[in-house]
Structure 1
Amino acid sequence: MSKKYHIGQTVVPYEIRYSENRETFQLSLDESMELEVRAPISAKIDEVEAVLDDRKDWILDKLYGLAEQSDTPRQKEFLSGEKLQYRGRQYRLNVTEADVPEPQLSFDGNEFTLKLHRFDAPGDSVSIRRKRQAVVDWYIQRAGEELPERVDRFAPKLGTQYDSIEVTEIDDRWGEYENGIIRLNWRLILSPVRIQDYVIVHELAHEVHDRHSDSFWNTVGTLIPDYEDRREWLRLNGNTLTV
């Protein structure tokens, strides 16, 4: 049974495994850093949640490594000289005034240019929100173009098939596979390509393996031999992939 446990703003997916012969609760994390709760067959959800409450510090420490993660970047105002991240690199932002109804972002391979109407020039909260939306829209468009191409690159190598790809906002994970549909978090476009490839191969492997078994990781390892390093990078730096 899959559930979600909330610790403040942090959402922790977990799975309950009931056992007739078990009298106590046991928490564990597999190699994918997913939480599993082994519980007595008679355990109620409230009892499981109480155990999670008691172990929440351990959960956060193990699941997200919050003490080790890079600091979340400070909130941008989208001014000239700031940096925007794309495919793991930082590029300078150049803001110019233009006759445009909405802020528009472009990229020439060396720097970003954000065109603004003069009314969007002030740094008030409304202008910042409009500028941020233009940046997010650009990222989503690029992710929608680039990530499916990389899926198509790896799927034949694994001999896997899928019905469709969705690049969207996913609150608590970087990707998921469900009934032939691959969903990828658009924020992956901010990460290095090698990290994008790890997440993509991870989700493609779920087409043939439901759980994170040894066979699953062997499948991932056929194309991503250093998947453990890439997974660790994402664990430590995932909170920096933000706009």
Structure 2
Amino acid sequence: MREHHIGQTVVPYEIDWVEDRETIGLSVDQSLELTVRAPMTATVGEVEEVLTSRQEWILEKLYGLKEQSEPPYPKEYLSGEKLPYRGREYHLNVIEADVPEPRLSFDGLEFTLEVHHLDAPADDVSVRRKRQAVIDWYLRQAKQDLPDRSPQYESKLGLSDISYDVCELSGRWGEFDNRAVRLNWRLILAPVRIQDYVIVHELAHAVHDEHSDAFWNTVGTLIPDYEDRREWLRVNGNALIV
């Protein structure tokens, strides 16, 4: 593990030497580890020059987590609470009904959660059952809505035969592998512009494997303000839970 000094701040980093790579790229993951991906021909001195030129960016990444939104308080799924959907908050109305298990619906103005009278109290079991009903609705909606946003971007990138899977992804919003895009269902809670950014990000990996300058140029061609959208997701991603 090497060290780069920014004033009094010591930043440990690792160099990942990559064949056929032409530029030096930096990335900071969720564990705040700095990784440098460099061509096989690059020297440590050249890597240090890039680190020096990107010091402001590095500090923003390392300390930016302090700005992230705190996760909201756990819900009890009672009338009067609100549920997020596509970047907006909607009133939740809980009613007793003749249903074997909780069932969520949305009419465009508010959410309605039908529950058996035994699930009406806010005990741990009923809360878990109601939460699962809410997640099931979001998952169904995400599987319907998110892939429908992709064709407009696929055509601009000259892509076809891309498959989509909306599921639970741990620690990431999307991933691309072997012409398949996987999207985190929680994106359905975010504004549509944020959903589009993640979709374009993953589709760009069909053209560029690494987060190179060419990769970000491709993303920027389709989403000119992608940096603002990426920053929104970094700051607000923790709050996209139900």
The residue identity in structure 2 corresponding to 1:240 is A
User: Are 1:194 and 2:189 counterparts?
Assistant: no
Contact 2:99 2:116 in 1 (8 A): yes
Equivalent residue number for residue 182 of structure 2: 183
Equivalent residue number for residue 137 of structure 1: 136
Equivalent residue number for residue 107 of structure 2: 108
The verdict on how the C-alpha distance between 1:87 and 1:15 changes in structure 2, with shifts beyond 3 A counting, is: farther
Contact 1:160 1:208 in 2 (8 A): no
CA distance in structure 2 between the aligned counterparts of 1:60 and 1:134, rounded to whole angstroms: 41
Q: How does 1:1-243 map to 2 (within 5 A)?
A: 17-18=16-17, 28-29=26-27, 35-37=34-36, 62=61, 65-243=64-242
Contact 2:28 2:62 in 1 (8 A): no
CA distance in structure 2 between the aligned counterparts of 1:106 and 1:127, rounded to whole angstroms: 18
The residue identity in structure 1 corresponding to 2:96 is E
The verdict on how the C-alpha distance between 1:119 and 1:34 changes in structure 2, with shifts beyond 3 A counting, is: same
Structure 1 stretch displaced more, 212-221 or 157-166: 157-166
CA distance in structure 2 between the aligned counterparts of 1:191 and 1:70, rounded to whole angstroms: 14
The verdict on how the C-alpha distance between 1:108 and 1:65 changes in structure 2, with shifts beyond 3 A counting, is: same
The residue identity in structure 1 corresponding to 2:164 is I
Q: Superposition RMSD on alpha carbons, in Å?
A: 2.8
| 1:132-165, Cα deviation, whole Å (9 max, x unpaired) | 0000000000000000101123211221234410
| 1:166-209, Cα deviation, whole Å (9 max, x unpaired) | 10000011000001110000000000000000000000010010
The residue identity in structure 2 corresponding to 1:165 is Y
User: How far 1:37 sits from its partner (Å)?
Assistant: 5.0
CA distance in structure 1 between the aligned counterparts of 2:106 and 2:72, rounded to whole angstroms: 21
Q: Structure 2: any 5+ residue segments left out of the alignment?
A: 1-12, 19-24, 41-57
Q: Structure 1: any 5+ residue segments left out of the alignment?
A: 1-13, 20-26, 42-58
Structure 1 stretch displaced more, 133-142 or 147-156: 147-156
CA distance in structure 2 between the aligned counterparts of 1:120 and 1:16, rounded to whole angstroms: 54
User: How far 1:16 sits from its partner (Å)?
Assistant: 5.9
CA distance in structure 2 between the aligned counterparts of 1:71 and 1:90, rounded to whole angstroms: 17
Identity percentage of aligned residues: 67
User: How far 1:63 sits from its partner (Å)?
Assistant: 5.3
Matched length: 205
Contact 1:165 1:181 in 2 (8 A): yes
| 1:8-36, Cα deviation, whole Å (9 max, x unpaired) | xxxxxx986149xxxxxxx94279x9842
Q: Which runs of 4+ in 1 moved over 4 A?
A: none
Contact 2:150 2:199 in 1 (8 A): yes
| 1:112-146, Cα deviation, whole Å (9 max, x unpaired) | 00000001011100000000000000000000000
CA distance in structure 2 between the aligned counterparts of 1:199 and 1:143, rounded to whole angstroms: 13
Equivalent residue number for residue 3 of structure 2: none
The verdict on how the C-alpha distance between 1:81 and 1:64 changes in structure 2, with shifts beyond 3 A counting, is: farther
Give the alignment's TM-score, normalised by structure 1. 0.77
Equivalent residue number for residue 56 of structure 1: none
| 1:36-59, Cα deviation, whole Å (9 max, x unpaired) | 2579x9xxxxxxxxxxxxxxxxx9
CA distance in structure 1 between the aligned counterparts of 2:36 and 2:232, rounded to whole angstroms: 26
The verdict on how the C-alpha distance between 1:228 and 1:61 changes in structure 2, with shifts beyond 3 A counting, is: closer
The verdict on how the C-alpha distance between 1:16 and 1:113 changes in structure 2, with shifts beyond 3 A counting, is: farther
CA distance in structure 2 between the aligned counterparts of 1:188 and 1:63, rounded to whole angstroms: 24
Give the alignment's TM-score, normalised by structure 2. 0.78
